[in-house]
């Protein structure tokens, strides 16, 4: 009997742990954030209910996104996660994530999202499973400069609880801005040296 009514906080915590465990080695900087090469660089888990055997499966790794073309749909600078059913299986949960090392030059991570789901999550977490930022409650951008050289994971997910598989979550416009490099003021000695050089050249032109 289908009964996938899981407490949201428990589910979120479990997803975070599983996501980091399955991320493998982190890339140096977020890659394919515009989904130009579809889902290259991203990892995913899914939850489903096997109707014939009356069993539920949680945190199964997606090994081939080609088998889930209805559930992970990439567009121009976006990806949409969808729940669905095909008569044999009810696909009631999907999570997409990528672990990466924050570059020293990184300043702000921002994104847009649109969701209609029984449960949805858009978070940035660290390698201790702590939530660094919840984009759904804390705003669409976060200062990541203090996480330089640290491994973090960007994670998105949806879950269905009412057996109506029309849930979706769209993530778009993921970007990381860089710190502006301030131009140091020339030192007094440098200014003095340049002045002497200019004065010397002026004297030579008079001869």
* pLDDT tens digits for range 6-44: 544 555 545 544 454 545 568 889 999 999 999 999 999
pLDDT given at position 4: 61
The per-residue pLDDT of the chain, averaged, comes to 85
List the domains of the chain with CATH numbers. Answer: 8-206 (2.60.120)
Residues found in the chain: 207
By the 10 Å C-beta count (0-12 exposed, 13-18 middle, 19+ buried), 79 is classed as: buried
The pTM score is: 0.80
Predicted pLDDT of residue 20 = 46
Q: How large a percentage of the chain has pLDDT more than 70?
A: 74
pLDDT of residue 179: 81
Q: What is the pLDDT of residues 90-133, one digit of tens each?
A: 999 999 999 999 999 999 999 999 999 999 999 999 999 999 99
pLDDT the model gives residue 7: 45
Q: Is 44 helix (H, G, I), strand (E, B) or coil?
A: strand
Predicted pLDDT of residue 105: 95
Beta bridge partners of 84: 91
- 3-class secondary structure per residue, 145-173: HHHCCCEEEEEEEEECCCCCCCCEEEEEE
């Amino acid at each position: 009997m289908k009964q996938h009514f899981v407490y949201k906080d428990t589910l979120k915590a479990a997803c975070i742990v599983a996501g980091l465990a399955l991320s493998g080695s982190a890339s140096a900087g977020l890659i394919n954030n515009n989904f130009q090469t579809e889902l290259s660089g991203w990892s995913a888990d899914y939850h489903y209910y096997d109707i014939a055997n009356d069993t539920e499966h949680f945190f199964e790794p997606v090994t081939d996104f080609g088998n889930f073309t209805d559930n992970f749909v990439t567009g121009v600078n976006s990806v949409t996660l969808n729940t669905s059913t095909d008569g044999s299986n009810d696909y009631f949960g999907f999570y997409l994530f990528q672990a990466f090392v924050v570059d020293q030059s990184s300043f702000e991570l921002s994104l847009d999202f649109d969701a209609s789901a029984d449960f949805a999550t858009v978070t940035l977490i660290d390698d201790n499973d702590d939530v660094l930022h919840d984009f759904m409650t804390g705003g669409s951008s976060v200062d990541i400069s203090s996480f330089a050289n640290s491994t973090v994971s960007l994670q998105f997910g949806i879950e269905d609880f009412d057996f109506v598989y029309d849930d979706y979550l769209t993530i778009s416009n993921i970007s990381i801005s860089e710190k502006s490099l301030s131009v140091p003021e020339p030192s007094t000695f440098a200014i003095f040296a340049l002045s002497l050089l200019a004065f010397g050249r002026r004297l030579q032109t008079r001869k």
